Amino acid sequence: MFVALRENGEYLSLVEKWERSDLLELRSHVTFHCPACQSKVQLKAGLKKTPHFAHLKGVECTVKTEPESEYHLAGKRQLFQWFQTQGYDVKLEPFLPEISQRPDLLVTTSNKRFAIEYQCSQLDYPLFKKRSDSYKKEGIVPIWILGAKWFKRMSTHSVKLSPFQWLFATSFNQPIQPCILYYCPDTSTFLKLSNLHSFTTGEVFCSICFYKEKGVSFLNLLEPYNHPFTLHHVWGRKKQKWRASYSIYNSNHLSSFLTTLYQKRIPPAYLPGEAGLPVPSSYWFHTPPMIWQMWILLDLLLQLRKGEPFFFSTVMEVISKRIDSKDIVIRQLPLVSHTQYSLAVEEYLQVLVKAGSLKKISKTKYEKTKDFIIPMSLEVASAMDEKMLASVGKHEENGLVQDNIGRDLNRD
């Protein structure tokens, strides 16, 4: 906590630089109170940590907050100063009595208010959603920024994202794909993940961009990142690896999937090329595309005869049943409100139409135009993947380009 209420009713902010001697003098004769719960707080001005206020031992604030590390305090202070230098009306830790919440920062522009939450510790989904929904009800736009220590890079174009990190996926400009923001106070650098394409439950292909604090404005940071790229090359290599060693990607919902494949005498390494294709809205699925798309093939498309029609609603019934049986898991994305997982399913069918596997008869009606082939070797499977992904690549509109000033923030 950087802000406290003095005995005389004035607020004291520690975001500006104070001499330690002045703070010690102030502490000796002034009593401070929490702006939210009005209980006494103590001014801590040690030699190691950033000066801050803290509730007395055993006193629990009525506004639920997490313990703040030095990393968190530094980041919050820097973000406050970053908004100030851009001329924004920004308040530090203001208490909002109408919703009993205290955002890290409250930024007011000519027509909007933004609640900036800088999160460095784990937060469970119910509390995250409650806070976000409360801001929205008051007409305040929640902007959640992760501490960059959460950033885990796996390769040039992929990162590891936990379910917790996925909560931060936000669509700032509808209907643009969501992105995730990080901030590192040690290097004064923003990190932005865009064009999120899940491959497994944890690994995600994406655009990875780094922005120095002094080189980017708030509005620029919220703008979409649109650079052309070819995703299918990196996706194809990863898909080949999955085919050759699918067992290492084992998860709870893979057991039922493998059992069904064996019952239908389909080796997991020899899934048809139509399974496991990247689609823009696949971020809605926690279940990997190799699996949720194959369920559509197993439960419907493989059973249809060539030339047989079907409706989009039938595909959604297949998905719904697999969700009910927990064979398919949908992500919890409280900050993405303009789409739902049905869009990813529709995009998948559109890809199959473009590849010539399906024909779209009307807005909701499709027809199977050719049989789906089960490959008999990894070589044939790889060739099928390349053909399908090349077809997808012709229609890609998103970009996977890494900013050339990018660097790993995990060294600290």
Instruction: Tokens for 248, please give them.
Output: 């290492």
Cis previous bond, 175, omega within 30: yes
DSSP at 336: -
Q: Of 36-40, 73-77, 278-282, where does mean pLDDT reach its minimum? A: 36-40
Confidence of residue 400 (pLDDT cuts 50, 70, 90): very low
- What integer is the mean pLDDT of 78-99? 93
Confidence of residue 403 (pLDDT cuts 50, 70, 90): very low
C-alpha span between 139 and 150 (Å, rounded)? 29
Examine the pLDDT at 392 and tell me if it is beyond 80.
no
C-alpha span between 135 and 116 (Å, rounded)? 10
* Confidence (pLDDT) at 65: 62
C-alpha span between 100 and 117 (Å, rounded)? 15
pLDDT digits 0-9 by tens, 165-222: 999 999 886 667 899 999 999 999 999 999 999 998 899 999 999 999 999 999 999 8
Contact 359, 327 (CB under 8 A): no
User: Residue 211, SS3?
Assistant: strand
Contact 249, 242 (CB under 8 A): yes
CA 69 centroid distance within chain: 23
C-alpha span between 133 and 115 (Å, rounded)? 12
DSSP string of 261-296? HHHTT--GGG--TTSS---TTGGGBSS-HHHHHHHH
Examine the pLDDT at 110 and tell me if it is beyond 80.
yes
CATH no. for 70-222: 3.40.1350.10
Domain regions of the chain by residue span: 3-55, 70-222, 232-393
Contact 340, 266 (CB under 8 A): no
Amino acid, res. 20: R
Amino acid, res. 104: D
pLDDT digits 0-9 by tens, 21-32: 666 766 666 776
Examine the pLDDT at 18 and tell me if it is beyond 70.
no
* Confidence (pLDDT) at 329: 95
- Mean of per-residue pLDDT scores for the chain: 85
Examine the pLDDT at 373 and tell me if it is beyond 60.
yes
Amino acid, res. 130: K
